């Protein structure tokens, strides 16, 4: 039986965080063994917020190196940058023309981001989820592993597929399913455990970056906001901060939350924080070592990016050609 196709990506803004790792990339690496996987750096999506060109350029290299360092294998998977496959922007246009504005108005991320970004509410921020649909549909992805915050965008993508099927038939675009992990799908901010850990948070203390130094990691985890109680229990409503730390602990150690709660009975929150800080440092140490090696080998990174882009383009161009045919645009090669 043909392997199912998996696709996912992360936008090149801010720093990749423990939230991105636990909610998404950790699942991506697990899936690479059994599925046909494509993972990319969404650099075009990053342009929806104002970027310093040099910093964006460096960040794209860094994100790509972090994907590899976190265990994504460039031979088993197709790893690439979105802007290296122009078909994304082209399919985006076709899908934009199928998407009612009313559907985009409902997107909570647009509302949140435009509230935070009052000086730059650009059209790209608004149509962002359509580009995301193009990313997915170009590769006939069956499954899209994401964190909880992307669920609404995935639902919109499914609506767009229905619009397309109704207008042009069902033979070209595959209906994707979201895959949201049972645990860690919404890792919370270390400073405000009622909102998600976000890589573009201005408060650096609110997230752990994959490439933070051990000293910073220790400081951030030990400084995580909890509550004034002392009883160790998992309760997302009453003890959001502690529960968030327990979730991170559970995912990284492979132990069940209950097991951890039992282990720490009678101990202080500080004990959990200290052990969790060590666990995060130990988990990230080999990743950071690999990352440093990769960043010293830019030629290898560029070669790997290039071969990933060629593999991706070969597939994307086939879908785009079929879409253009469905829509009635003239295909010169079939007219000769």
| Position among 24, 70, 79, 94 found at the interface with ligand TYM (CB under 6 A) | 24
Residue located via tokens 């580009």: 131
20 near ligand TYM, judged by CB under 6 A: yes
Q: What is the pattern of x (binds ligand TYM, CB under 6 A) and - over residues 195-234?
A: -xx-------------------------------------
Of 5, 8, 243, 319, the one binding ligand TYM by CB under 6 A: 8
| Residue 7, phi-psi category: left (phi > 0), alpha (psi -120 to 50), beta (remainder) | beta
Q: What is the DSSP string of 266-314?
A: TS-HHHHHHHHHHHHHHHHHHHHHHHHHHHT-HHHHHHHHHHHHHHHHH
Q: Does 135 bind ligand TYM (CB under 6 A)?
A: yes
Q: Does 95 help bind ligand TYM (rule: CB under 6 A)? A: no
248-278 burial, b at 16+ Cβ within 10 Å, e below that, comes to: bbbbbeeeebeebbeebeeeebeebbebbbe
By CB under 6 A, how many residues form the interface with ligand TYM? 25
- By CB under 6 A, tell whether 176 contacts ligand TYM: no
CA distances from 191 to 51, 100, 203 (A): 25, 37, 8
290 is catalytic: no
Catalytic residue from among 54, 113, 222, 285: 113
C-alpha 181/C-alpha 186 separation (Å) is 9
Question: Is 81 near ligand TYM (CB under 6 A)?
Answer: no
DSSP string, 219-238: HHHHT----S-------TTT
Tell me which of 55, 171, 199, 311 is the catalytic residue.
199
Separation between Cα atoms, residue 240 and residue 100, nearest integer Å: 37
3-state secondary structure of 81: strand
Does position 37 interact with ligand TYM (CB under 6 A)? The reply is no
Ranked by CB distance to ligand TYM, the top (closest) residue is 23
Which residue in 116, 196, 239, 255 is the catalytic one? Answer: 196
Please indicate whether residue 196 is annotated as part of the active site: yes
Q: Site for ligand TYM (CB under 6 A): which residue of 65, 136, 312, 323?
A: 136
Q: Strand locations in 43-172, DSSP E?
A: 78-81, 143-145
255 is catalytic: no
Interface with ligand TYM, residue 150, by CB under 6 A? yes
CB 90 within 8 A of CB 19: no
Q: Is 308 in the site for ligand TYM (CB under 6 A)?
A: no
The verdict on 74 binding ligand TYM (CB under 6 A) reads no
Give yes or no for a contact between 38 and 78, defined as CB atoms under 8 angstroms apart: yes
Give yes or no for residue 94 binding ligand TYM (CB under 6 A).
no
Instruction: Select the residue interacting with ligand TYM from 74, 147, 193, 308 (CB under 6 A).
Output: 147
Element (H, E) at 37: strand 36-42
Q: Residue 207: which of 236, 244, 255 has the closest Cα?
A: 244
Using the contact rule CB under 6 A, the part of the chain among 51-59, 142-150, 285-293, 320-328 near ligand TYM is 142-150
Stretch in the footprint of ligand TYM (CB under 6 A) among 119-127, 130-138, 277-285, 286-294: 130-138
Residues with catalytic roles: 113, 196, 199
Residues near ligand TYM (CB under 6 A): 7-11, 19-20, 22-24, 42, 45, 132, 135-136, 144, 146-147, 149-150, 185-187, 196-197
């Amino acid at each position: 039986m043909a392997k199912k196709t998996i696709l996912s990506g992360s936008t090149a803004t801010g720093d990749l965080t423990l939230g991105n790792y636990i909610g998404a990339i950790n699942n991506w690496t697990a899936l690479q063994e059994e599925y046909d996987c494509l993972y990319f750096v969404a650099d075009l999506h990053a342009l929806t917020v104002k970027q310093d060109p040099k910093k964006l350029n460096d960040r794209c290299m860094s994100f790509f190196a972090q994907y590899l360092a976190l265990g994504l294998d460039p031979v088993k998977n197709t790893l690439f940058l979105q802007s290296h496959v122009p078909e994304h922007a082209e399919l985006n246009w076709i899908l934009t023309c199928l998407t009612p504005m009313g559907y985009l108005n409902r997107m909570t991320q647009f509302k949140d981001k435009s509230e935070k970004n009052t000086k730059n509410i650009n059209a790209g921020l608004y149509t962002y989820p359509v580009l995301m649909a193009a990313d997915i549909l170009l590769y006939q992805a069956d499954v899209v592993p994401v964190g909880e915050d992307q669920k609404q965008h995935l639902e919109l993508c499914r609506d767009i597929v229905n619009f397309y099927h109704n207008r042009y038939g069902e033979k070209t675009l595959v209906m994707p399913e979201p895959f949201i992990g049972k645990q860690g799908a919404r890792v919370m901010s270390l400073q405000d455990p009622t909102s998600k850990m976000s890589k573009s948070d201005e408060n650096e203390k609110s997230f752990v970056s994959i490439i933070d130094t051990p000293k910073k990691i220790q400081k951030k985890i030990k400084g995580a906001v909890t509550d004034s109680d002392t009883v160790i229990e998992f309760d997302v409503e009453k003890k959001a901060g502690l529960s968030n730390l327990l979730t991170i602990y559970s995912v990284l150690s492979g132990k069940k939350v209950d097991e951890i709660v039992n282990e720490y009975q009678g101990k202080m929150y500080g004990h959990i924080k200290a052990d969790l800080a060590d666990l995060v440092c130990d988990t990230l140490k080999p990743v950071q070592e690999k990352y440093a090696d990769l960043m010293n080998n830019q030629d290898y990174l560029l070669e790997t990016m290039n071969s990933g882009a060629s593999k991706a383009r070969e597939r994307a161009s086939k879908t785009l050609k079929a879409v253009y045919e469905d829509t009635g645009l003239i295909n010169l090669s079939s007219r000769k």
